[in-house]
Amino acid sequence: MPDPRPLEGVRVVELARVLAGPWCGQLLADLGAEVIKVERPRQGDDTRHWGPPFVTGADGDNLGAAYYHSCNRGKRGVAIDIATAAGQAEIRDLIAGADVVIENYKVGGLAKYGLDPARLRADFPRLIVCSITGFGQTGPYAGRAGYDFIIQAMGGAMALTGEPDGPPQKAGIAYADIFTGMYSAVAILAALRRRDAMGEAQGGGAHIDMALLDCQVGVLANQAANYLTSGVSPRRMGNGHANVVPYQAFATADGDLVIAVGNDSQFRRLCVLLGAPDCADDPRFATNAARLEHRRELIPLLAARIATWEAQPLALALEAQGIPAGPINDMAAVFADPQVVARGMRFRPEGAAVDGLASPIVIDGERMVADKGAPPLAG
């Protein structure tokens, strides 16, 4: 690991629980920041109890749910009762030496403890406070609690997910929370950069307002652009793609395979491989725009030929032709995949009882990942 790591010397106080705030804190810890996680005495973060499965220590102790360990790597834990005057004073002492506070209380929820962003910024002018809520600090929903599932529903993601004739579906991972945690880390890094540029005399602190709904809407990407351009709300397409054809899962003789054709040249090579070169010259299929228009005619033609292949030979043949394809892996297959193994995405932090996920960030050949596991519940 490079010495120092990029955020060495940055201190973060995390007054956050569940996923979005802790995910942000874990990312900063991976990059070298000292992250101090403040938890409730005895109870701790809610996710310590979100199991099974639970992690068992070498002495048989329950170390909390696997969920907790997924988003709290590399932090130092302290247990403080924020509802007491002594606890509030202890938190202020921590913040006095910090660069960043991450908090995910409801809007105004910290004011009764004297720890709200306005008060903290007045007392500590160089402090960066990142507030993470469901709906943001302003607007008609500001006072509401927000959870990932609700945000995926309200933010348009569920309307785009699932089979065309089936019900809306949420993603299998809490992506609204995770994207919010990542965007929050980016915002914090930008605020630190601006503070450094301003210099000590100007203070340079900031209050960052991060909302799950903003982040979910913000990653609608091409689907939002499709709607804003056409005025037509995109519909669920199962494993199909709204803008590219063929770009979906196909059934082979022994399992499903994703084939992702990104341009007309790849489509031509696919047709030749499948023994249907005339398809590439058919005006209905010659361009991506035409294939989009005639999707219902094209897909059955391809599917019938793909179904005669077994998945592995077809995947190898596609790779040889430069046509992107891949299997649909379960977790066991993911962590057995030679590329995932070679990249070291499964690792065991020092002192941890179980393996965990590495950070995907690699700088100068070194993976940016905290070398210690999630902290035990202090106190």
Residues that are catalytic: 177
**What is the Cα–Cα distance from 171 to 180, expressed in whole angstroms?**
15
CA-CA distance, 193 to 368, in Å (whole number)?
A: 19
Smallest CA-to-CA distance from 20 within 147, 149, 181 is with 181
Q: How far apart are CA 195 and CA 201, in angstroms?
A: 10
Rounded distance between C-alpha atoms, residue 163 and residue 243, angstroms: 17
Residue type, 46: D
CA distance 38 to 51: 21
Polymer length of the chain: 379
CA distance 72 to 63: 13
Say how many C-beta atoms besides its own lie within 10 A of residue 226's C-beta. 16
Q: CA–CA separation, 276 vs 305, rounded Å? A: 9
CA angle 122, 141, 71 (to 5 degrees): 70
Following CA atoms 363, 367, 370, 374 in sequence, which dihedral angle do they give, to the nearest 10 degrees? 140
Contact 168, 236 (CB under 8 A): yes
Amino acid at 111: A
Using CB atoms within 10 Å of the CB of residue 294, give its burial: 0 to 12 exposed, 13 to 18 middle, 19+ buried.
middle
- Could you give the residue ranges of the DSSP H alpha helices within 8-116? 20-30, 66-69, 85-96
CB 197 within 8 A of CB 210: no
**In 10 A of CB 145, how many CB atoms?**
10
d(CA 312, CA 307): 12
